[in-house]
Structure 1
Amino acid sequence: MTGAPSAGPASALYLGVDAGNSKTAALVSNTSGEVVGAGRSGCGDIYGAPTPEDAVAEVLAAVREALDQAGADVTAVRGAAFRLAGIDWPEDQEYWDAALSRRFPDALRRRSILNDGYAAIRCGSPGGVGISVTGGTAAAIAARGHGGELWDMGWWGQHEMGAVGLANEAFRAVFLAELGLGPRTALTAALLAHYDKPTTEALNHWLTRRQEQASVRERTSCARVVTAVAAGGDPVAVDIVRDQGHRFAQYAGVAARRTGLVGEGRPVSVVLSGSVLMAKDSPVAEALLSQLPAHVPGAVPLSSSLPPVTGALLDALGEGGVALADAAVADATVEKVTRTLPPDEFLAT
């Protein structure tokens, strides 16, 4: 962020961190929500980084950059929210708590550490109650109830979703068709063209060979191809997309039940985010929305154009005493945060 006003070391600041496999982002704001510092680094997932210590180093690098840009010391941070991929079990949370305590023994004492799935909730529901359904490279689903109940999918997800799910289901369909064990599909020609491979055998070899096989990013790059083929009416691709949407809705239903959001008779905010669900005319989002009422009665779908780190920052503000449950306060704070965010390219994956 260029030209951000200095917060000054004595100012009360709030820190939000969103860490995933592709990047870690950190934002620092003052009490009004004005973003005064931003930082970015690499993989902050203790399951995805070469070592857990590497993930910690990346998260701390983003925090340092954001604070340096704010012209402030960590002791000025009144509240911090760490929303980190790989917070899936109690020991993961304990690991991060210990790591932060070692690095900041006299600061960041008011902090929360949760799975990154929670970050998107306040991007659409500033009060912090509701469900987030993120479909990006993979899937993250989390919910917070009116009584503070928390649930996130973590390792409970038994289906591949997001771009990974679309890609792997499409590969399976193409290879089964080649073997005569599945119906012919337009996905075959589409994927061969996308990856510039002459045959399905060449594609299979590239995806599975021992050396120089396709990276995760290369494998998942075909997600938009799969949805485009589905939009063209190919029955196999249509089934893949519909199954994806149904699975997202099913897990959102689990999140609603586990946090007491079902049966209250109140509207339930369901915030959609991630490249797969936010793509223009996304057939996966369409399939999800068609199934959602059956699994989350009273669901109110909301699409978020804000980056998840914004939700982490709003969590820090809300947990630090800013009355985001008050609609007027929430609106003013979100407007201030949105207006002072760093450029889109800074937070792009």
Structure 2
Amino acid sequence: MGELYLGVDAGNSKTAALVCTAAGEIVGYGRSGCGDIYGAPTSSDAVAEVAAAVGDALAGASVAMAGIAGAAFRLAGVDWPEDCAFWDTALREKYPTLRRRSILNDGYAAIRCGEPSGVGVAVIAGTAAAVAARGPGGAVWDLGWWPQHSMGAAGLAEEALKAVYLADLGLGSKTSLTEGLLEFFGRSSVFELNRWFTRREGAAPWQEKPRAARVVTAAAEAGDQVAQVIVREQGRRLAMYAGVAARKVGLADGPGKVSVVLSGSVLMAVESPVADALLAELDGHVPGVVPHRAVVPPVAGAALDALGESGIPVTPAVTDRIAATLPPKEFLAT
């Protein structure tokens, strides 16, 4: 089988891990819960979830960590230097035999999902949003806690709820989102909807809001003007932060092309109006942009990073092999 490589993508909804060969064949995989040190009940819980996914992936590949030649940990919540230091200590204690590894924010996992060189910008819109970039000289930058706008599925839902509440108060335009969200959440009135999300006891868990993103995109596609404004604004925000990322790592300094990879459930949905809105805005924020759709999920991008950082060329054949040997779709469902 030869040397094996490990890629880990940890987020709030799940943590996924893949073990692959140098040729890109996936030979083990594992999945667990929240691996974000900001989102898990405790940082120790996040470490345990990452370890659980890694353990299952190693077991599936019938290999111990000592047999892993290189690993890329792409972890939500690696936002500040102390976060990286925390994970460096945790992984060193957990896996003392691991020979080569890197630790970065999960946003970086998506770059190689559409740009094999790993140089470019990734724009991810899933439950939340992430933007990360790697420049030609190796400089990296990610959005972390810098965004001042709500984005991703959560952002779409929050803006839609705001529009519904304002319409109910007579301070905003009427919108089909009112009927759509009441039906989706099973509430009898806007009063009950607002109360359900904000009451002191028995309030809806935060995970409920992002689920309604599909209501917003469906309303926009059906012609609702309020929903269309929300979708266009989501595209503008994502494009704006992609521009910041490109400038931060030197991708905007010359006349060359700049790869921007789109990933995440909101942008990868069939005929996604948010993706269309983002693409319509990108030229104005990233000169020379060449957009790419991710061809593999972020955890596969992490595995490709593990290969690339170990000196193995990430060729189309390697990416194709990873894509062909991915776990079943339900493994990556959120």
> Normalized against structure 2, the TM-score is what?
0.98
Task: Give the distance between the partners of 1:291 and 1:194, measured in 2 at CA.
Answer: 30
Task: Give the distance between the partners of 1:124 and 1:254, measured in 2 at CA.
Answer: 20
Task: Give the distance between the partners of 2:189 and 2:330, measured in 1 at CA.
Answer: 37
- One-letter amino acid of the structure 2 residue matched with residue 340 of structure 1: T
- One-letter amino acid of the structure 1 residue matched with residue 20 of structure 2: S
Residues 1:110 and 2:95 aligned together:
no
**SS of structure 1 residue aligned to 2:287:** coil
**SS of structure 2 residue aligned to 1:154:** coil
Offset of residue 265 of structure 1: 1.5
Tell me which residue corresponds to 1:234: 224
Correspondences of 1:128-277 after superposition (within 5 Å): 128-277=118-267
Offset of residue 196 of structure 1: 2.0
List runs of 5+ in structure 1 lacking aligned partners: 1-6, 325-329
Offset of residue 124 of structure 1: 0.3
Tell me which residue corresponds to 2:91: 100
* Counterpart among 72, 77, 80 of residue 81 in structure 1: 72
Offset of residue 263 of structure 1: 2.9
Correspondences of 1:307-326 after superposition (within 5 Å): 307-324=297-314
Offset of residue 13 of structure 1: 1.2
Residues 1:48 and 2:39 aligned together:
yes
- One-letter amino acid of the structure 2 residue matched with residue 59 of structure 1: V
Task: Give the distance between the partners of 1:257 and 1:210, measured in 2 at CA.
Answer: 44
Task: Give the distance between the partners of 2:200 and 2:242, measured in 1 at CA.
Answer: 37
Q: Is the 8 A contact 2:68 2:99 kept in 1?
A: no
Task: Give the distance between the partners of 2:167 and 2:95, measured in 1 at CA.
Answer: 56
Q: Is the 8 A contact 2:5 2:71 kept in 1?
A: yes
Task: Give the distance between the partners of 1:183 and 1:340, measured in 2 at CA.
Answer: 49
Residues 1:290 and 2:280 aligned together:
yes
Task: Give the distance between the partners of 1:19 and 1:268, measured in 2 at CA.
Answer: 27
Offset of residue 109 of structure 1: 3.2
**SS of structure 2 residue aligned to 1:272:** strand
Task: Give the distance between the partners of 1:240 and 1:133, measured in 2 at CA.
Answer: 18
Tell me which residue corresponds to 2:16: 25
Q: Is the 8 A contact 2:182 2:189 kept in 1?
A: yes
- One-letter amino acid of the structure 1 residue matched with residue 86 of structure 2: Y
Task: Give the distance between the partners of 1:190 and 1:41, measured in 2 at CA.
Answer: 32
Task: Give the distance between the partners of 1:318 and 1:255, measured in 2 at CA.
Answer: 22
**SS of structure 1 residue aligned to 2:41:** coil
Task: Give the distance between the partners of 2:267 and 2:324, measured in 1 at CA.
Answer: 24
Offset of residue 44 of structure 1: 0.4
Tell me which residue corresponds to 1:343: 328
Q: Is the 8 A contact 2:66 2:99 kept in 1?
A: no
Instruction: Give me the identity figure in percent.
Output: 62
**SS of structure 1 residue aligned to 2:145:** helix
Task: Give the distance between the partners of 1:348 and 1:177, measured in 2 at CA.
Answer: 34
**Residues paired across the two proteins, number:** 334
Task: Give the distance between the partners of 1:83 and 1:194, measured in 2 at CA.
Answer: 33
Task: Give the distance between the partners of 2:79 and 2:295, measured in 1 at CA.
Answer: 26
Runs (4+) off by over 6 Å:
none
- One-letter amino acid of the structure 2 residue matched with residue 14 of structure 1: Y
**SS of structure 1 residue aligned to 2:22:** coil
- One-letter amino acid of the structure 2 residue matched with residue 101 of structure 1: R
Task: Give the distance between the partners of 1:40 and 1:307, measured in 2 at CA.
Answer: 14
> Normalized against structure 1, the TM-score is what?
0.94
